[in-house]
Amino acid sequence: MFKKILCPTDGSDHAYKALDIAIDLAKNYNAELVLLHVPSRSENIGGLRRFAEIEGLTPRVNKEIDRLRTMDYRVSVATDSAFQDSGVSPQLLVEIGRHIIAGAKGRARRKGLENVEALLEIGDPADRILKCVDSEKIDCVIMGSRGLNDLKGLFLGSVSHKVANRAPCTCITVK
């Protein structure tokens, strides 16, 4: 039924639940699992700090957060338009993203899934997920209903909602 399953992940509890379901489906259908992380330009600083504590990344992340708190303005990053008006440096978001994606790939491998591809994309999460669906010829997207940046999703619409409404394939949203 499924040949290629996409599981976008941001390291949240909902994303881990979605990952476990994606791993099980991929194993059952002998499908390839594609993992995707897209660092968000508007990451919630409190969420980053909690994630860093859980994952043992606290010193590096806390240093960046302390730097941000001493500023009276948000930094505009000119090197990549995906990070415009972001207070958090692109380097930190990419570093955290690499950690998230490596952890997800490791989890899949520990559960016996060998056919796993891991991607880290820069840009709008919903847009990058949808582009990945097209470019990778994805049959099914399995993702968490809420990520690390819950508050933004309440006001602007969640990434999972946008993907579910625009993707041409089966989408499973996990709570």
CATH number, domain at 124?
Answer: 3.40.50.620
Print the domain residue range for 162: 4-41+90-174
Q: Does some domain include residue 24?
A: yes
Summarised one tens digit per residue, pLDDT across range 111-128 is: 999 999 999 998 888 999
With DSSP H G I counted as helix, E B as strand and the rest as coil, what are the percentages for the chain, rounded to 5?
50, 15, 35
Give the model confidence (pLDDT) of 76-109 as tens digits: 333 344 444 445 667 777 778 888 899 999 999 9
Within a domain: 35: yes
More confident residue, 59 or 39: 39
Whether 158 maps to a domain, the answer reads yes
Q: Residue 1's pLDDT is what?
A: 87
Q: How far, in Å, CA of 39 to CA of 28, rounded?
A: 30
Task: Look at residue 69 and tell me if it is in a domain.
Answer: no
Full-model pTM: 0.76
When the pLDDT of each residue in the chain is averaged and rounded to a whole number, the result is: 79
Cβ proximity of 125 and 159 under 8 Å? yes
In a domain, residue 143? The reply is yes
